[in-house]
Structure 1
């Protein structure tokens, strides 16, 4: 029996847009993702298409990321970012002439690559990455799915049906806006699931969603085929569960492919290596050293200090890519062989953050290209997408998935712990106020409606799971705290204006400009606070 491999890439970044600054360090997260992940993925898809390799994958692009990818302000800044990077790579070609030949080789490689990516962005994609993905969806290679609103962590909203509906509806509306059709599936932020959430998905006519392995492992009724067949929930929504073996083989810090000694080291960057006077124009405008994306060293040995690393060679890393793609397909084939007693074809679901491929694991997009090439040669394995599996399925187990996430230990602890639990009383109060205004406000002026709509945006932005995640992982904590507190402050400032009937249009316009997301937001989205039946 042939098995199916479902690759799922989840592309997400929090909404970071600072139009009041010419350059803002955290905006570079988006620019790096475009240059290192999204454009390389599109190049891989184009290459496979030209080779007539029939590949399939599922891609979720979150609403905040969609909004950032079409932002004129951010597109302009991205062009500046790329021109700056190209200028630096030119200087590196000259500078490395007297250094190790391997550095000089990579400097020329980077310069050619950056120019090629910029040309594609301008000429082929017309500064619209979404359009690039849409074209491959129309060709039948990709199945696009949406995500809830601002990647809000839904298990924390279980007592507020209106907040859950607002997140889901916003995700669907944004998808429709950019893809001109309703999505079939949804990626729930952090794969956060609780009992009864499927009712809300059913209300919006969604057909499927994804869960972590724990959702099947710890359900009250055992999943007959473990995580290797989808189930259907009591409310007729299909659920696909993550294969832990695939995750470990690629994502594991200990045995995952990205840790191979031949691959590029993520942390050793010329933004930290070069003399300050030389690199200053190309790092953060505050003068703080930061990554440039030009890296000359390979992992070498994970036990070595950064300054003990050996030089990276792109050709050597491609040898590793080919080996790992073959090894991965071989492991998937063995899995399929071990499931020949299934009544229907086994399904291996492999979901990953899209940014793993290219940004964190530089060779990741090349790996995917070789992976699809190897799968196309297999007699036991082929790629697929959820709607194809649903259509071909004859028998489906009815099952209520267990509460779960794809975070550490499979539950909620990453997003609710002593580093971030202080945010939820604020969010709950904001939700309650939005429900109150959505139910009570009917005949209102245009400026009142604008104010309430902006309050809804501030609430949604404050709900982003990224802020709690960053606090939990102790990375850019000050930025996450500041962003959360800023949205809370703006919400309550606007609410005071509504309450006292003293709306300051200048302040309102400023917040609409700063937090320019979900143009067609309607605060009445919070009106229905009844539990789904």
Structure 2
């Protein structure tokens, strides 16, 4: 079919903070394994189908170094394999309980399939799987700084160290250095493009309002050759916004309601104000019917948007829709099927589906732009990570950075010093402030930030420590800071 309507880029941002050995339930390793089973495995599964069909440039996939480290970590691989076995056992138990028989059978099939996929394709971790998609051109891979810090609040020296280290880590795992990054939280401060250029970064993501809503083309930033792409919120919010979106439909599986005796989710959303005990049972056929409608609605939305932008600008336009990968499957049970549905339906509707690199090759590059300080968080500014609720954490992080930069220089590599810098990087993760501001496991987040800061201080002072340390970046060299 001729490509007449314009270009669409789907960008998925895959990220979780470092979770192994830091608690299990309700926040901790359970979070990792649920996202792994319900998002990462299904997304890899659909990418394999596209790869086997010879499809190229299907989507742009961001994978943060800290997530890649977890999905390659030997301990995490063993523990997740055990988790998959427990999922099958819980499903078998559910199949014997009144009212849960059909759900138990459905879950057991899903768990068995996930286990087979994991045992056959993931035996050596995520990186070999990911590299196959990169090498075949199925996806474009985006990297990022080591532990997903909010870059505008970092000292420029630490910002550069974290970014270089993250790009080096991806190169080590995948065999090539990514040309683009997902800037953590889409956080931007004027001038950061110079640091990107120095690190070899050619493109990054910002939120739509940073471009005053004109996301119809990529733009070079300031006087640099670094290109930014903006999320088209008119299209993106059709799926997921702070207030609405497809996953909240009454017929989809409810994320928040549990059958606690077996640890499964037995209900459909039913209604936003319906109490958990009053929610209707999940009906897969009903959800599937609704999914088809939402695939069509999204395709129609993209086509309408592209036509509107073409009329306004007099040329074919670009639409970039960007989401957290964890939305698809973990938060929205039907999400992976929806992803596959739109990626197959959009080309049939005359839309070019490609990657960010592919969009540039197709000519979607506009005039230079000066970006404001921004993020994709509430208010599209920095308030989530620099607001009143986390003022003490911001102050603690600023002081930590000063102590980090004051570490004495050494001629030879010191594994203890490397470990200390790793702990500082973990303390500076953007996740902790986000969780506090959003009141999502805030106590856990504060504890994690405090623990990593205390570990850094102990290691930096040469004090005896009683923990093994978080050994997630074996190549990290503190001398490069």
TM-score by length of 1: 0.85
2:9 paired residue number: 6
1:462 paired residue number: 427
Give per-residue Cα distances to partners, 1:188-221, cap 9 Å, x unaligned: 100000100000000011110000112111xxxx
Give the one of 300, 304, 326 matched to 2:296.
Answer: 326
Report the count of equivalent residues.
476
CA distance in 2, matches of 1:320, 1:382: 25
Check whether the contact 2:390–2:437 (CA below 8 A) recurs between aligned residues: yes
Give the one of 153, 162, 167 matched to 1:167.
Answer: 162
Give the one of 242, 265, 269 matched to 2:258.
Answer: 269
CA distance in 1, matches of 2:371, 2:24: 47
**Shift of residue 310, structure 1, vs aligned partner:** 0.7
CA distance in 2, matches of 1:443, 1:522: 12
CA distance in 2, matches of 1:235, 1:74: 41
**Shift of residue 256, structure 1, vs aligned partner:** 0.9
Give the one of 466, 469, 473 matched to 1:514.
Answer: 469
3-state secondary structure, aligned to 2:388: coil
CA distance in 2, matches of 1:111, 1:67: 29
Give the one of 383, 387, 402 matched to 1:413.
Answer: 383
CA distance in 2, matches of 1:238, 1:253: 27
CA distance in 1, matches of 2:415, 2:25: 29
Give the one of 184, 190, 194 matched to 2:189.
Answer: 194
CA distance in 1, matches of 2:226, 2:175: 23
Check whether the contact 1:297–1:309 (CA below 8 A) recurs between aligned residues: yes
Give per-residue Cα distances to partners, 1:288-330, cap 9 Å, x unaligned: xxxx3x2111011222111111111112111111110011001
Q: Is residue 219 of structure 2 the alignment partner of residue 231 of structure 1? A: yes
2:125 paired residue number: 128
**Shift of residue 94, structure 1, vs aligned partner:** 1.6
Q: Is residue 418 of structure 2 the alignment partner of residue 453 of structure 1? A: yes
Check whether the contact 1:194–1:402 (CA below 8 A) recurs between aligned residues: yes
Give per-residue Cα distances to partners, 1:383-436, cap 9 Å, x unaligned: 111112223328631112111100011001111222211122222222223323
Answer with 185-194 or 423-432: which moved more.
423-432
Give per-residue Cα distances to partners, 1:10-65, cap 9 Å, x unaligned: 0000011218x898951111100110001111222233445666661111111111
Give per-residue Cα distances to partners, 1:354-380, cap 9 Å, x unaligned: 00000001000000111112112112x
Runs of 4+ in 1 over 6 A off after TM superposition: 21-24
Give the one of 111, 116, 138 matched to 2:113.
Answer: 116
1:283 paired residue number: none
2:85 paired residue number: 83
**Shift of residue 154, structure 1, vs aligned partner:** 0.9
Check whether the contact 2:317–2:364 (CA below 8 A) recurs between aligned residues: no
Check whether the contact 1:48–1:55 (CA below 8 A) recurs between aligned residues: no
CA, structure 1 residues 25+209, in 2 after alignment: closer, same or farther (shift >3 Å)? closer
Check whether the contact 2:27–2:444 (CA below 8 A) recurs between aligned residues: no
CA distance in 2, matches of 1:128, 1:73: 11
CA distance in 2, matches of 1:395, 1:297: 46
**Shift of residue 132, structure 1, vs aligned partner:** 2.3
**Shift of residue 238, structure 1, vs aligned partner:** 0.6
1:525 paired residue number: 480
Check whether the contact 2:88–2:111 (CA below 8 A) recurs between aligned residues: yes
3-state secondary structure, aligned to 1:13: coil
**Shift of residue 8, structure 1, vs aligned partner:** 0.5
3-state secondary structure, aligned to 2:83: helix
User: After the TM superposition, which residues 149-298 of structure 1 pair with which residues of structure 2 at under 5 Å, given as runs?
Assistant: 149-157=146-154, 160-217=155-212, 226-233=214-221, 234-252=223-241, 254-271=243-260, 274=261, 292=263, 294-298=264-268
Check whether the contact 1:62–1:146 (CA below 8 A) recurs between aligned residues: yes
3-state secondary structure, aligned to 1:300: coil
Check whether the contact 1:106–1:314 (CA below 8 A) recurs between aligned residues: no
1:362 paired residue number: 333
Q: Is residue 461 of structure 2 the alignment partner of residue 496 of structure 1? A: yes
CA distance in 2, matches of 1:322, 1:127: 36
CA distance in 2, matches of 1:349, 1:22: 36
Give per-residue Cα distances to partners, 1:131-180, cap 9 Å, x unaligned: 223222222221111011111001112xx211110121121011111111
2:348 paired residue number: 377
User: After the TM superposition, which residues 6-155 of structure 1 pair with which residues of structure 2 at under 5 Å, given as runs?
Assistant: 6-18=9-21, 26-50=28-52, 56-95=58-97, 99-100=98-99, 103-155=100-152
CA distance in 1, matches of 2:210, 2:242: 23
Which of 1 and 2 has greater Rg?
A: 1
**Shift of residue 227, structure 1, vs aligned partner:** 1.1
CA distance in 2, matches of 1:404, 1:353: 18
CA, structure 1 residues 450+47, in 2 after alignment: closer, same or farther (shift >3 Å)? closer
- What is the Cα-based RMSD across aligned positions, in Å? 2.0
Check whether the contact 1:146–1:183 (CA below 8 A) recurs between aligned residues: yes
CA, structure 1 residues 52+374, in 2 after alignment: closer, same or farther (shift >3 Å)? farther
1:303 paired residue number: 273
CA distance in 2, matches of 1:35, 1:431: 36
3-state secondary structure, aligned to 2:310: coil
CA, structure 1 residues 190+395, in 2 after alignment: closer, same or farther (shift >3 Å)? closer
Check whether the contact 1:17–1:514 (CA below 8 A) recurs between aligned residues: no
CA, structure 1 residues 268+420, in 2 after alignment: closer, same or farther (shift >3 Å)? same
CA, structure 1 residues 57+250, in 2 after alignment: closer, same or farther (shift >3 Å)? same
